[in-house]
Amino acid sequence: MQRSALILVLAFSTATLALDNGLMRTPPMGWLAWERFRCDTDCESDPQNCISETLFMDMADRLSEDGWRELGYVYINIDDCWSSMARDNQGRLQADPERFPRGIPHLARYVHDRGLKLGIYGDLGTHTCGGYPGTTLDKVQIDAQTFADWGIDMLKLDGCYSNATYQEQGYPMMSKALNATGRPIGYSCSWPAYQGGLPPKVNYTLLGQICNLWRNYGDIQDSWDSVLNIVDWFFNNQDVLQPVAGPGQWNDPDMLIIGDFGLSMDQSRSQMALWAIMAAPLFMSNDLRTISSGARAILQNKAVIGINQDHLGIQGRRLIKEKSGIEVYWRPLSKGASALVFFSRRSDMPYRYMTSLKMLNYTLGVYKVYDVFSEKPLPELKDSTDFVVSVNPSGVVMWYVYPAAEWRKEAGPSRFSEKLRGPKFHRYANEVDAPLVL
């Protein structure tokens, strides 16, 4: 199928009914506590890393002072284990008084004063996964109003200690209750992850009407095997999952673990690139106080963020799965642009992969190419010109591809390039027939 036709098919196949709260028209970005800090409540022995107001205030400071906020990382999200073990006398959830002595409203004000948003965690069941008070059906409205009164901007609603019938009632009920508060609160549903993630048990049309994003699959762990497991599930099921994503309603493959302990730099670039192709929410779970410069550079790469945040909101697809261990992924973007990822599953040495844009079903023409992670423009490419990319083991090469004819119609650099503050794609006269090594 030609690229232009395929883009139209993908655009019109995206679910047209979405949660009517006007939020998260591009995938949300921010920081989430769970993968890195889990349920560490020992503030006496581990005061810097326990789930407490100190941790979230520290991360808010880092987002606001270290350049993250300006790139779109605006959510500070509390996960499980924040609450007291009992509700208050009026039946409301309350924060643990020792770890959050000034309460969640104070933390929300602190976060908001720094131009950020605060997310919180709940569970549609008798208990959270960590054993704290859950939200039973009779508590849905009071919990929604409590979160709104506190100044919460996003709710992740988990599904431990419940069942399919309970979830079928409770997740839509919470959506209505959040909207009824009058406060804009983004809504993350874990519902599909508890029902296997696929139809017929999961009704993605309904999900798009009640949730802004949803967890489809199991929790990510701090390992390359976990990342590969998630990637395989999402792209093996891309025919089901790709059409249901779009502005205001996103598939969520879980957190970015870049900057933790389990990924090399090449693997970190791979996770970032593939999450961008998936139009996935970008929630880091790491320690921003001690993150390495290499991990920071990957997470703050403006080009890959720009691809992730493309306003068309079309989720990408895997195009090719070679016997050599090389895979090619593609995502259509605004103004006729696209993103290409060449990904290696090899573990031996860099692999030189030869192809052409024509072989990847690009239409006739000449294209500008920008290498996302080397952060430099490459020679113009004719659709028919063979080229070679060298892909590191468990690594990626990621390109932003733009039709040269469209480029020349515009006065000056494209909007995408301006967002990157340059670089301008330079014109090259290299039109030889031999393969280009890029």
> Do residues 360 and 389 lie in contact, with contact meaning Cβ atoms separated by under 8 Å?
no
Q: Which two tokens stand for residue 271?
A: 């996770």
List the beta bridge partners of residue 369.
Answer: 378, 401
Tell me the average pLDDT of the chain.
92
What pLDDT, on a 0 to 100 scale, did the predictor assign at position 406? 80
What pLDDT, on a 0 to 100 scale, did the predictor assign at position 420? 44
Please name the helix (run of DSSP H) or strand (run of DSSP E) that holds residue 391, with its range, or none.
strand 387-391
The average pLDDT across 141-165 equals 98
pLDDT of 13 above 50: no
pLDDT of 200 above 50: yes
- Report the candidate in 106, 121, 143, 128 with the shortest Cα–Cα distance to residue 33: 121
Geometric angle at alpha carbon 151, from 170 and 181, rounded to 5°: 45
Q: Regarding the domain delimited by 16-308, which CATH topology (the fold level of the hierarchy) does it fall under?
A: TIM Barrel (3.20.20)
Name the catalytic one among 66, 149, 219, 266.
219
What pLDDT, on a 0 to 100 scale, did the predictor assign at position 438? 53
Which residue spans of the chain are classified as CATH 2.60.40.1180? 317-437
Q: CA–CA separation, 43 vs 294, rounded Å? A: 30
What pLDDT, on a 0 to 100 scale, did the predictor assign at position 84? 98
What pLDDT, on a 0 to 100 scale, did the predictor assign at position 264? 98
Between 61 and 429, where is the model more confident?
Answer: 61
Name the catalytic one among 79, 96, 158, 260.
158
Q: Mean pLDDT lowest for which of 67-71, 194-198, 408-412?
A: 408-412
What pLDDT, on a 0 to 100 scale, did the predictor assign at position 147? 99
- Report the candidate in 105, 94, 118 with the shortest Cα–Cα distance to residue 32: 118
Q: How many residues does the chain have?
A: 438
pLDDT of 436 above 90: no
Which residue spans of the chain are classified as CATH 3.20.20.70? 16-308
Percent of the chain, pLDDT > 90?
88
Percent of the chain, pLDDT > 70?
89
Q: Which tens digits make up the pLDDT trace of 314-335?
A: 999 999 999 999 999 999 999 9
Q: CA–CA separation, 239 vs 171, rounded Å? A: 25
Q: Which tens digits make up the pLDDT trace of 236-247?
A: 999 999 999 999
Q: CA–CA separation, 135 vs 138, rounded Å? A: 8
Q: CA–CA separation, 106 vs 113, rounded Å? A: 11
DSSP at 83? B
Residue range 317-437, CATH number: 2.60.40.1180
Q: Mean pLDDT lowest for which of 18-32, 91-105, 277-291, 364-378?
A: 18-32
pLDDT of 112 above 90: yes
What pLDDT, on a 0 to 100 scale, did the predictor assign at position 38? 98
What pLDDT, on a 0 to 100 scale, did the predictor assign at position 8? 41
pLDDT of 23 above 80: yes
User: Could you write out the DSSP letters of every residue in 309-353?
Assistant: T-TT----EEEEE-TTSEEEEEEE-GGG-EEEEEEE--SSS-EEE
Backbone angles phi, psi at 154, to 5 degrees: -155, 140
Q: Mean pLDDT lowest for which of 122-136, 157-171, 401-415?
A: 401-415
Q: How many Cβ atoms are within 10 Å of 225's Cβ, its own excluded?
A: 9
Between 262 and 8, where is the model more confident?
Answer: 262
Confidence of residue 405 (pLDDT cuts 50, 70, 90): confident
Q: CA–CA separation, 340 vs 381, rounded Å? A: 14
219 included as an active-site residue: yes
* Contacts of 343-346 spanning 24+ positions with Cβ under 8 A: 343/270, 343/273, 343/274, 343/391, 343/395, 343/396, 344/391, 344/392, 344/393, 344/394, 344/395, 344/396, 345/228, 345/394, 346/393, 346/394
Confidence of residue 410 (pLDDT cuts 50, 70, 90): low
